[in-house]
Structure 1
């Protein structure tokens, strides 16, 4: 296995993921995941305590599609968008089919009136399927540094 090619593929996956969310292409967001996936947004305290609950949880790509459908058609919220800054990206382990990856992130929230604030900071803990082309997430844990989570968490991080 070409480790350099794996690293480039993982970096491209993570960059494309952030761009998809930041540019409001949320209908494409589920395509970054394998069919049977896990997506969880949780606090650092809950993660370190081994508590499996989260603010947002999905156990399949279908659940991610449902989330986007609800966001677009049913949820009522003040219009806003994010801008992600991600890095450094560390590949913790690679085998023939999977990579375990961690990266730090911040997400700035931009409201419809132009007001900006630091919305979230934390780590992504990822398991990436290396057999799919392009690579896809098997699991993406979004571990927030703060236990305080804004009630306006409707767009994925």
Structure 2
């Protein structure tokens, strides 16, 4: 990222990279390319899944809290090697990211999302909906998540959460 910016402003090239980060993330998790999922995060990157009620009340409890890229890799191992479940496809529909702040090489952004789940023997249903609240940083490898908070709207999540949101 280069050039002078004010809060909420990015140059076109950086904003285009931000759009690609969101789109590429959705493609990777929708295609079950689990080996690539941790690459979207910095080494100390955090991934958390939190109900909206807790988020709005400032309560820290999350359904899932991975506090480093190593923990994210461990989750990948669990998804690939140890979890047994009915197979399903998922499809992310992600809104255009809204830039909330730009502080040096750090971007705070959020985007709405919906995840559609399709079981092999069933119809497609809305599995999860909410918004991402992301802290993104510039690295030598491009933009990466320093923190991805998935705030989901429903208090209930059908069955168990296996794949990343």
TM-score band, normalised by shorter chain:
over 0.9
Partner of 2:37: 29
Gaps of at least 5 residues in structure 1 are none
- Aligned-residue CA RMSD (Å): 1.2
Would the aligned equivalents of 1:125 and 1:140 in 2 still touch at CA under 8 Å?
yes
Offset from partner CA, 1:81-140 (integer Å, 9 cap, x none): 210110121011112210000000000001122421000110000000123432100000
DSSP 3-state at the match of 2:75: helix
Alignment of 1:1-157 (within 5 A): 1-2=2-3, 3-157=11-165
Give distance in 2, aligned partners of 1:150 and 1:27.
25
Normalised to the residue count of structure 2, the TM-score between the two structures is: 0.91
Would the aligned equivalents of 2:19 and 2:96 in 1 still touch at CA under 8 Å?
no
Displacement of 1:4 in angstroms is 1.2
Give distance in 1, aligned partners of 2:102 and 2:16.
13
Count how many residue pairs are aligned between Structure 1 and Structure 2. 157
Give distance in 1, aligned partners of 2:159 and 2:63.
9
Give distance in 2, aligned partners of 1:125 and 1:152.
22
Structure showing greater Rg: 2
DSSP 3-state at the match of 1:7: helix
Normalised to the residue count of structure 1, the TM-score between the two structures is: 0.95
Which aligned runs of 4 or more in structure 1 are off by greater than 6 angstroms?
none
Moved more, 18-27 or 106-115: 106-115
